Amino acid sequence: MGGAEAEQVVAPLDDVDRNIIAELTRDGRMSVTQVAENVHISRAHAYTRISRLTGEGVLTKFTALVDPIKAGLKSSAYVTLKVRQHSWRELREQLRAIPEVHHIALVGGDFDVILLVRAVDNVDLRRVIFDQLQSMPGVLDTQTFLVFEDVDTR
Residues 52-110: tens digit of each pLDDT: 999 999 999 888 888 999 999 999 999 999 999 898 999 999 999 999 999 999 999 99
The domain that holds 41 is classified in CATH as 1.10.10.10
User: Is residue 27 one of the residues assigned to a domain?
Assistant: yes
Domain count across the chain = 2
Q: Mention every residue, 6+ apart, whose C-beta is less than 8 A from residue 52.
A: 11
User: Is residue 92 one of the residues assigned to a domain?
Assistant: yes
Q: Quick count: other Cβ atoms within 10 Å of Cβ 17?
A: 20
Sign of CA dihedral 27, 30, 32, 37: negative
**The amino acid at 56:** E
Domain with 42, as residue range(s), is: 13-55
User: Is residue 7 one of the residues assigned to a domain?
Assistant: no
Q: For residue 117, give the nearest of 135, 104, 136 by alpha carbon.
A: 104
